[in-house]
Amino acid sequence: MSDKDKTHFGYREVDSDAKAGMVADVFHSVAARYDLMNDLMSAGIHRIWKRFTIELSGVRRGNAVLDIAGGTGDLAAKFADIVGADGRVVLADINASMLQVGRDKLLDHGRHANIEFVQADAQYLPFPDESFDCITIAFGLRNVTDKDLALRSMQRVLKPGGRLLVLEFSKPRNELLSRAYDTYSFRVLPLMGRLVAGDADSYQYLAESIRMHPDQDTLKDMMEDAGFARVEYHNMTGGIVAVHRGVKA
């Protein structure tokens, strides 16, 4: 079996074909408490990270926006307000449970007129070439089996001049912060997951998946290799999180 047939699920090496199902099991398990756990884990700061991503996106009225791994719809709801009735927002997620939670939440809040819900794999996006003005993926790329394939798929469905924004956990720049972050991730998060979501193992995986994700400069290189131009990134919270932005030439 070649190296291409293997990938990582957290710290474990697994068959590439098996990873998607394993990740699906994680998100089926946590979907119902996903929003609550996000607020608890980040002390609500994830809302600031997402707000900055939206501001950086340059989305305007009438645009078409694709939010990949959109989960419970935080970004999609904001984009729907910005693009207005003449615009289009597609909330896409590979996981049916997450997509259902997001759909139910947005419908309950009357946010559905210009939002479509699509179950889709980021590696094989089911949209025509040059369909979107902007694509976002927030805290989802690290769970994708083949990140390079997914980035090329995103580049394909963007219009020329369209933007991709990747919001993801990254590598803290300060050694003391990095150590404190490790302690929090591997001791506090699984305990919190057990107490709140009844699932310590899924949050152990999430902590490990963050450590296995490419650092800021590596992801920048990957986006450039996928055909994106003017790629830049902005560190937030000391580099615990970074948002990368690239443009389709």
Q: Exposed (0-12), middle (13-18) or buried (19+): which is 1, by Cβ within 10 Å?
A: exposed
Angle between helices 96-108 and 16-30 (to 10 degrees): 40
Neighbours of 8 (CB within 10 A): 17
Domain ranges of the chain: 19-173+204-248
**β-pair partners for 46:** none
Confidence of residue 31 (pLDDT cuts 50, 70, 90): low
CATH homologous superfamily of 19-173+204-248 equals: Vaccinia Virus protein VP39 (3.40.50.150)
Residues forming the annotated binding site for S-adenosyl-L-methionine? 72, 93, 121-122
pTM reported for the whole predicted model: 0.86
Phi, psi of 111 (to 5 degrees): -100, 80
Name residues whose C-beta falls within 8 Å of residue 217's C-beta, 6 or more positions apart in sequence: none
Mean pLDDT comparison of 23-27, 103-107, 111-115, 156-160, highest-scoring range: 156-160
Number of H helices, E strands in the chain: 10, 9
Give the largest Cα separation in the chain, rounded: 51
**Residue 37 pLDDT greater than 80, yes or no:** no
- Mean residue pLDDT across the chain: 89
Confidence of residue 29 (pLDDT cuts 50, 70, 90): low
Residues forming the annotated binding site? 72, 93, 121-122
| Residue listed under structure tokens 């419908």 | 107
Would you say how long the chain is, in residues? 249
